[in-house]
Amino acid sequence: MIASVAHASWFKAKETQTLLAALEAARPGGSRFVGGCVRNTLMGREVDDIDVATQLTPDQTTEVATKAGFAAHPTGIEHGTVTVVVNHKPFEVTTLRRDVTTDGRRATVAFTESWEEDAQRRDFRLNALYADASGAIHDPTGGGLDDARAGRVIFIGDASTRIREDYLRILRFFRFNAWYVRGPLDPQGLHACADLAAGLDALSVERVWKEVKKMLAAPDPRAAWEGMTAIEVRARALPELANETRLDALCTLEADLMLPVDATTRVAAALMDQDGARALARRLKLSNEERDRLVAALGDEVKITSYMSLRDMRRAIYRIGNEAFRDRVMLAWAGAGGDKAQAWRALVAHAQMWTPPKLPLTGDEVMAAGVPAGPKVGAVMREVEEWWIDADFPSDKLSVIERLKAVAQGMA
């Protein structure tokens, strides 16, 4: 592994270099890239966000950005973070910090000029890697580079101390293991998480839900999920996600057949039923959209099988929607094992490709056929719609009108 990020496209990008040049002009050697962009580059992973640590104060960062013609937004000013936007590209620029007090949920910080102090307040050694203006790596904890090379997640310093600073780090431990670890989970970290699991009770449910989604978006979270379950962290933080067999089967299926990963489908797989989905949504304050998707994924009013005909697939998609159909197919496929992969793949593809049509009939047309305004209009439209669905959604308007006339006459 080359201890440099100078080759990375994000590092060489005009926006990145322009921002760093402005910061460095204000204080030479005072700004470095940190965290995920450095870690992921060294580990050959995709980089989504670019964070900068700086010895400049937030006011100085804002002044530098403004003079350079960049937009500057105080998105986390109490913790020293200013979001600087360069040519529509956002960068989080944060002043070096040290913790003054912590209560397990949040920290009061003081600004510092020490890279070592800033590193010590972070969670894991591979997250405390910095890259300077030349792309060279700095490793203040002395273990971050080795961890990135080996594919392991180790707390900085004493694991229990790091967790007591913020109990969310228990879930972050498993999330980062899901994404980055090759091999067993660090036993000392696992032991500390087990000892301090009660601290999870004090966390905001929004933070817990955010970590769960990130963890289950990992290519293969099975080892991390098993570790979390073994020390009863999963039962404590996520009691509704108790269907370990189906979640494991879905993850196995995705890994073996290299299928696209969807974190929400995995959450649905880990739930027992629709009641569990509603309970999870209430407790963790999911959005209405998230709740409705999970509930729909666990419905059973439409039977899903690998041997569904095209007609049956279209009927099902029309009734429950493309997204719910895909989720149910994935859960049914996981329950059936890896057999008949080609047939199951066809169902997934159909869910993505076929757009349900709209019934080519209006209420005005129903009334024009002699149906009086009122409840009968809806009743006639529903009967015509059932015929239309059963006929596999014909687009012939004349056929629909002829059916309307027959239904209207029958109800007269």
Taking only the tens place, the pLDDT of each residue in 237-284 is 999 999 999 999 999 999 999 999 999 999 999 999 999 999 999 999
Q: Of 84, 116, 150, at which residue does a domain stop? A: 150
> Could you read off the pLDDT of 127-149 as tens digits, one per residue?
999 999 999 999 999 999 999 99
Q: What is the pLDDT of residue 1?
A: 52
116 in a structural domain: yes
**Crossing angle of helices 222-230 and 244-257, rounded to 10°:** 160
Q: Of 111, 127, 150, at which residue does a domain stop? A: 150
Q: Of 126, 150, 174, at which residue does a domain stop? A: 150
Q: What are phi and psi of 12, to 5 degrees?
A: -85, -10
174 in a structural domain: no
134 in a structural domain: yes
Domain count, the chain: 2
203 in a structural domain: no
394 in a structural domain: yes
- 137, 42 in Cβ contact below 8 A? yes
| pLDDT, averaged across the chain | 95
Read off the CATH number of the domain in which 2 is found.
3.30.460.10
264 in a structural domain: no
Domain of residue 382 covers 363-411
Q: What is the pLDDT of residue 317?
A: 96
DSSP track, 46-101: -----EEEESS-HHHHHHHHHHTT-EEEEEEGGGTEEEEEETTEEEEEEE-EEEEE
Residue 194: closest CA among 229, 239, 157: 229
**Crossing angle of helices 288-297 and 274-284, rounded to 10°:** 160
> Could you read off the pLDDT of 16-68 as tens digits, one per residue?
999 999 999 999 999 999 999 999 999 999 999 999 999 999 999 999 999 99
71 in a structural domain: yes
332 in a structural domain: no
- 143, 122 in Cβ contact below 8 A? no
